[in-house]
Structure 1
């Protein structure tokens, strides 16, 4: 068996997409006499500095021999990759290995790539040690060589083995591509058909649309060759959604096995263990009231008795901010997100316990008005009715939140973040659609 890994072949400006190139590679492999077992799409650490639009690396599993596979893939990368984009640094790694039996070090590299930072030097050393052929294109990187995409390409080579070993729960994405000469023009898609298909197959297919905003999430805004991409747990469901979308002609399709929607980027931790550039699940108490700042971003602080962590729900998370604003000092939550410059970018949170009462100035039982202070340590009194209370009294709070998980809407979800509708969470869920 052979594993072809590639990454960083797309462009933010020219519109090329690495998944499209992977689909072309798979077709060329088949034309060369090989059988393609699967396409793999791997979302890597979303916090890395050098990344493609969605930070995805791709792999193609085939029985075509490694040398022929390398030649086929290298020709296509050289032809289609946008090498003159300063932010694009294409890389190719081809392994003469069973996808389920790559070296442990390569599987470890792949598992770590979704949360850690890897250097090109580390990737090349590991690829050479494993005897994998590789090539790079584009300008030299800070590592002194072209082809930074070989980091992601090597991670894509090891991903399937890592997922199998670690009992991961891969998902699917069926990507439909436009006729290439239409790239850069507005997509012709009947949105009503997208919403109807999404409703028919939910939750087997998820994040197809956002009913709160009325957006077809599966349709990208970038100028590349993707017409739409349908994600879900059920490969048949994502196919049916795609088939029922009325649109301009579909040139080709490819079904990818992915780590999208898995929360693979998150690790359980305590506040003292957090570092920038990684994703976490942390539990603590809300220690500041939520505050809406300039731009509509909502901030609060979480504490565990020893440390505090600033958390933010950015404006693009839309209605999720209302959930964050509904939190109060004293609530206990589990927060999830990437830490950047000491602040967690909230993706979801779970309410563990809520403050149910608050202390308020007592009301006079006679006239119903709020009492006044009777002086330092003298309690409260109503001068009109001559009634008194020794101190503040508890009043039950009307809370809009319930115990359980809340999440950002589909329009704001990161590729690798797990939608609540997928299940497997440790408390009740309140999914967004």
Structure 2
């Protein structure tokens, strides 16, 4: 007699968790909250469907804490309500609300992300979105959401879930033990330099060789010890092992990110979209002679689609020399963030790149040269032509001479120490990392046993 054996298969739900603005200038970090959350979920044997996602949004938002980054995590679980409660508790515990953090948390149960999320995320990448719009979005789409303070974090929380990666990089963030929060970070400069040399081009923007400056350590009191950005897990783990420090660290986690993609500058700035704090790019003709002001900063105008736009290049970017060599008539493409109007200037684009498309010939006129004596002729007076004072040879007009330009038809970027999180570095030009492969077996998360 055969028996029919039935198994109860637990139904699993795909849960997207997005959160942002849990940090303040005085401490904590949204990625550290993600690290703590992943640690908790891994202990519960939760199934992860992708790397934790660290999405950097519009870097020109005035109330951002540091890099304007939000985090989302995609998991599969048979007990979503339990996990939601755990996440809420962690957000409350690890948000620095007493120092101005305005955390936002969003839950969305679905394997596929509706296009409305992606549109919202795309907008947050280059424009200013008010928190009231995020609350309206959450209500309209029946999202489960939670916030403290004014709820500004809801913008990033929704955006991090909806972000559609056309290109991505990875970042290994290494975290400190609690007793070290706020204390000086001591790291071997030579080891960081060596790490960059050994892992190039699979890592980027770790060390400024010209200044001898380490670029992987933050300077604030947050829990991050260092962050290495690159293209794949193995290179990042290898890089982290080269870096030397006497400090015992808590662990690390690797995020999938839009850092180094330049995605915030993919949208065209127009007269209509050039709102304060917007980011984008435009192509046009230099319409005046660049002005160099006190401090070495350079200002010039560009004519695009019959509208003139002011552009600013600040000396610390290292691009001020490039900007000062532009002349009226040069065709260029520029990208950056819009600064609101001041008493001296209307809205102005703070440039993050200059790409020379074509250079106008620079012509100067001078007195003709006597071919016999190889000396410049002297003017005989207005309308009377020119004459060599040695041999008497005459000429009726001045001569035109083309001056060689110091610029080339190419892309100019700020020096590496002036790059933003989203800046696409030179070594990533033309590269698109579209890989969607995620293996839980990869060493993307680790808590050290020490």
**Scaled by the length of structure 1, what TM-score is found?**
0.87
Cα distance change of structure 1 residues 129 and 283 upon mapping to structure 2, 3 Å threshold: closer
Deviation at 1:372, TM superposition (A): 4.2
Larger Rg: 2
- Partner residue in 2 for 1:402: 408
- Partner residue in 2 for 1:183: 181
- Partner residue in 1 for 2:191: 193
> How is 1:404-419 mapped onto 2 (pairs within 5 angstroms)?
404-419=410-425
Deviation at 1:382, TM superposition (A): 4.1
- Partner residue in 2 for 1:26: 38
CA offsets, 1:279-331, max 9 Å, x none?
222222223333321223122222248332221111321x3222223333332
- Partner residue in 1 for 2:264: 265
Deviation at 1:242, TM superposition (A): 1.7
2:227 to 222, 229, 242: 229
Query: SS at 1:50's partner residue?
Result: coil
> RMSD of aligned C-alpha atoms?
2.2
Cα distance change of structure 1 residues 33 and 268 upon mapping to structure 2, 3 Å threshold: closer
Cα distance in 2 for partners of 1:394, 1:280 equals 39
* Equivalenced residues, count: 407
- Partner residue in 1 for 2:139: 128
Unaligned runs of 5+ in 2: 1-13, 341-346, 432-450
Cα distance change of structure 1 residues 147 and 271 upon mapping to structure 2, 3 Å threshold: closer
- Partner residue in 2 for 1:10: 23
Deviation at 1:30, TM superposition (A): 2.0
> How is 1:207-218 mapped onto 2 (pairs within 5 angstroms)?
207-218=205-216
- Partner residue in 1 for 2:306: 306
- Partner residue in 1 for 2:357: 352
- Partner residue in 1 for 2:441: none
Query: SS at 2:18's partner residue?
Result: strand
Cα distance in 2 for partners of 1:367, 1:303 equals 46
Cα distance in 2 for partners of 1:250, 1:270 equals 44
- Is 1:59–1:157's contact at 8 Å kept on the other side of the alignment? yes
Deviation at 1:356, TM superposition (A): 4.1
Deviation at 1:39, TM superposition (A): 0.5
2:200 to 196, 199, 202: 202
- Is 2:387–2:395's contact at 8 Å kept on the other side of the alignment? yes
- Partner residue in 1 for 2:158: 154
- Partner residue in 2 for 1:252: 251
Query: SS at 1:53's partner residue?
Result: coil
Cα distance in 2 for partners of 1:97, 1:132 equals 11
- Is 1:4–1:69's contact at 8 Å kept on the other side of the alignment? no
2:88 to 49, 57, 74: 74
CA offsets, 1:36-92, max 9 Å, x none?
332001111122233221111111111134322221111111112110123x21111
Matched, 1:116 2:130: no
Cα distance change of structure 1 residues 261 and 389 upon mapping to structure 2, 3 Å threshold: farther
Deviation at 1:6, TM superposition (A): 0.7
